[in-house]
Structure 1
Amino acid sequence: MTTIQTAALRLAEDAQDLLFRQARTANEFAAEPVTEEQVQAIYDLVKWAPTAMNSQPLRVVLVRTPAARARLADHLSEGNRAKTAAAPLTAILAADTDFHEHLPTTFPHVPGAKDFFADPAARAESARFNALLQAGYFVLGVRAAGLAAGPMTGFNAATLNADFFPDGRLSALVVVNIGNPVPAEFPRNPRLSYAEVVHTV
């Protein structure tokens, strides 16, 4: 990173490294457990992420017990089962399609909100989009705790939802393995350059 680029960012460079440049998507973890205190600290940080109309539809299910882990494994693609079984903690990140029930009572006075919430399809689409936005922040929160995250979408959403969320209110979006990182044994893939991604009109 050049001096100019460093000066343009207010976040300390070691924090930039922790959250972005040195962070890796993890497939293997050290044996240390992930504590409830760590998870709560992660959530208390990432709950400030932006969502449309402050809807906050993300719900997190921590899969800790052997029975729950075995159930989850049945819904994962073959390539994700072994690393999930070995991870200290796995979280199911899901969207709550009835997120509006948790909004302040004054919220329906926002123009158009009442009609929007009355439409289940629009509500479900908004829940999915905004929960995925929150999921990205959740990964950053895991990294901020000095842990590594291994987000996965390789699972059968229909069977996972039927098993873990049979009332239909929640819809699984991402399964994330969490733990203390071990050094990656393969080189990092390149990223697109600024010129390849950013255009001004």
Structure 2
Amino acid sequence: MSQPLSDEAINQLFLDARTHNLWQDKAVSDELLTQAWDMTRWAPTSMNCCPARIHFVKSAEAKEKLKSCLSEGNIEKTMAAPATAIIAVDTKFYVNMPRLFPSFPGAADMFEQSPELSEETAQRNTILQGAYFIMACRTLGLDCGPMSGFDNEKLDETFFNDSSFKSNFLCNIGYGDKAGLYDRGPRPAFDEVCAIL
């Protein structure tokens, strides 16, 4: 990094960005979703393990399947969103380690032989990649509505049956309608939650 971002960019990514619940009737192109992934894939992960898998729900058929997995309070906003990303964990991410992290030839075996380490690594790094995905979307002018509030087991059976993928969280994507925003809640100040040691 050489120069700080402009105030405009910082506002778009952080200070003015909100979790949206209401969406404009405006499609999100497959090209934009591809761009978002092309930025997300450079997120740092442990030993470049890259365990996140993203399925984009856009079609009417896929939305109906997703609807059956959602908590009541998340149905309306998710059905109205132009796209919903299912951010999932590939529990067998380690099979790609020989290609992704060739400097440690034993990485795949290490994770395969330690299910606890494998799960912990996959969960932590998928969340990290998911956060990068949100920032990538914001960079492209998209708004996001990340959420839990769904039946993980049912969703996994519906979308990931007979695979090694497990859902982590959902993220609605589109062009938000500010009329649906809640009043912004406070956030802890630096001195409340941080320490410089």
- TM-score normalised according to structure 1 size: 0.89
Report how far residue 198 of structure 1 moved.
1.1
In the alignment, residue 28 of structure 1 is paired with which amino acid?
A: L
Matched, 1:40 2:38: no
Residue equivalent to 1:194: 190
Q: 2:152 aligns with which of 147, 154, 157?
A: 157
Deviation digits for residues 129-178 of structure 1 (CA, Å, limit 9, x no counterpart) = 11011111111111111111001110010111111111240010111110
Q: Which amino acid aligns with 1:192?
A: P
Q: Which amino acid aligns with 1:120?
A: P
Query: 2: CA distance between counterparts of 1:106 and 1:178?
Result: 29
Mean CA deviation greater in 121-130 or 11-20: 121-130
Aligned equivalents of 2:114, 2:13: Cα separation in 1 = 38
1:129 to 2:124 alignment? yes
Partners of 2:94 and 2:111 within 8 A in 1: no
Q: Which runs of 5+ in 1 are unaligned?
A: 1-8
Change (3 A) 1:175 1:106: closer
Q: Displacement, 1:54? A: 0.5
Q: Report the Cα offset of residue 109 of structure 1.
A: 5.4
Instruction: For 1:14 and 1:140, locate their aligned partners in 2 and report how far apart those are by CA, in whole Å.
Output: 15
Match runs of 1:1-201 below 5 Å: 10-105=4-99, 107=101, 110=104, 113=107, 114-184=109-179, 185-201=181-197
Between the aligned partners of 2:125 and 2:100, the Cα distance in structure 1 is 21
Tell me the SS of whatever aligns to 2:162: coil
CA–CA distance in 1 between the matches of 2:150 and 2:29? 25
For residues 109 and 37 of structure 1, the distance between their equivalents in structure 2, rounded to whole angstroms, comes to 33
Tell me the SS of whatever aligns to 2:66: helix
What are the superposed Cα offsets for residues 110-143 of structure 1, whole Å, 9 maximum, x if unpaired? 2862323332332222111110111111111111
Distance 2:84 2:31 in 1: 15
Aligned residues: 193
* Structure 2: stretches of 5+ with no match in the other structure: none
Task: Give the deviation of 1:187 after TM superposition.
Answer: 2.4
1:140/1:105 CA distance change after superposition, 3 Å = closer
**Which amino acid counterpart does residue 132 of structure 1 have in structure 2?**
I
Identity among equivalent positions (%) equals 39
**Cα displacement (A) at 1:105:** 4.3
